[in-house]
Amino acid sequence: MDKTQQGHVNYDINEGVATIEFFHPSHNSLPSNLLSQLSQAIDQAGKEENVKVIIIKSDGDRTFCAGASFDELIKIDNEIDGKTFFMGFANVINAIRRCPKVVVGRVQGKAVGGGVGLASAFDYCMASKYASVKLSELAVGIGPFVIGPAVQRKMGVSAFSKLALNATEWQTAEWAKSNGLFHEVFDTTEQLDVYITHFCETLKNMNPDALILLKRIFWEDTGHWDSLLESRAEISGQLILSQFAKETIKGLLK
């Protein structure tokens, strides 16, 4: 099977908590079909009256998310398709932003590129100590343009610039916590899961109207992100066609 068609997104509701789980055999990378399923699942959970809180996680106990699918990126041969691919990440971020429910993220392992963008969009993000982070986009000839607003909003310009420019080095989970990306970091995934369960059980019993209003406050001044992230997707869609990007990604796939 074509790697860009592999993977899945599972959606489950259990006693007021919706869990959205994604998986791809290539280190939980995200091709277009999974990005589309993710944004649809977030939209659906936001509309369910019996859902009080949402958890987004990936399957497996290693990499949380390797970001964009290189197998799909290498096939892009025009700006329209390039923009369309990167709009997948824009749509997921905007789905979380627009969702009236609090979205909690579980980051059990390394997060690269778009995986860091996802973590930045979560309203509350918890990780294991193995959740190192890296924005590798510049190293492959593009840049973290689409996810940049989410990362900068969560971590500030200084931390964002460090990640964006230091594109080949990992930063630790503790560094990510100290710079606002993670709210909690645990020694083991078992501890991570126990606390997420406790946190969401507590949160779902809070006043739902208060939670909705808090969510709006968290995302104040981001109403222009539909157009902003679309313009950023255009930039990435152009850069992915560069000889630098094509040759670099081809080398990495080998």
Query: Is 171 within 8 Å of 163 (Cβ atoms)?
Result: yes
Query: Is 19 within 8 Å of 45 (Cβ atoms)?
Result: no
* Structure token pair of residue 111: 């997060």
Residues 6+ apart with CB under 8 A from 220: none
Instruction: State residue 33's pLDDT score.
Output: 97
| CB half-sphere exposure, 37, CA atoms < 13 A | 18
For the segment 241-250, the average pLDDT, to the nearest whole number, is: 95
DSSP H helical ranges for 64-205: 70-73, 79-98, 114-121, 148-155, 157-165, 173-178, 189-203
pLDDT above 90 coverage of the chain, percent: 96
- Please say if the pLDDT value at position 4 is more than 90: no
C-alpha R_g of the chain: 17
Find the angle CA(241)-CA(243)-CA(247) to the nearest 5 degrees.
Answer: 105
Instruction: State residue 180's pLDDT score.
Output: 98
DSSP H helical ranges for 3-155: 32-47, 70-73, 79-98, 114-121, 148-155
- Please say if the pLDDT value at position 254 is more than 90: no
- Please say if the pLDDT value at position 2 is more than 90: no
For the segment 99-113, the average pLDDT, to the nearest whole number, is: 98
Give the DSSP letter of residue 5: G
CA–CA separation, 231 vs 82, rounded Å?
Answer: 12
Domains in the chain, CATH or no CATH each: 3-188+222-253 (3.90.226.10)
Write phi, then psi, for 187 (nearest 5 degrees).
Answer: -70, -30
- Please say if the pLDDT value at position 252 is more than 70: yes
For the segment 236-252, the average pLDDT, to the nearest whole number, is: 95
* Structure token pair of residue 89: 């990440």
pLDDT digits (tens, 9 = 90+) for 70-83: 999 999 999 999 99
Name the pLDDT band for 1 (thresholds 50, 70, 90). Answer: low
* Structure token pair of residue 9: 């997104």
Average pLDDT, the chain: 97
- Would you tell me how many other CB atoms lie within 10 Å of the CB of residue 2? 9
Query: Is 106 within 8 Å of 57 (Cβ atoms)?
Result: yes
Instruction: State residue 3's pLDDT score.
Output: 81
Give the DSSP letter of residue 97: H
Instruction: State residue 24's pLDDT score.
Output: 97
Instruction: Taking the CA atoms of 192, 35, 79 and 247 in sequence, report the sign of the dihedral they define.
Output: positive
- Please say if the pLDDT value at position 36 is more than 80: yes
pLDDT digits (tens, 9 = 90+) for 156-172: 999 999 999 999 999 99
- pTM value? 0.96
Residue type, 220: E
pLDDT digits (tens, 9 = 90+) for 49-77: 999 999 999 998 889 999 999 999 999 99
Instruction: State residue 187's pLDDT score.
Output: 98
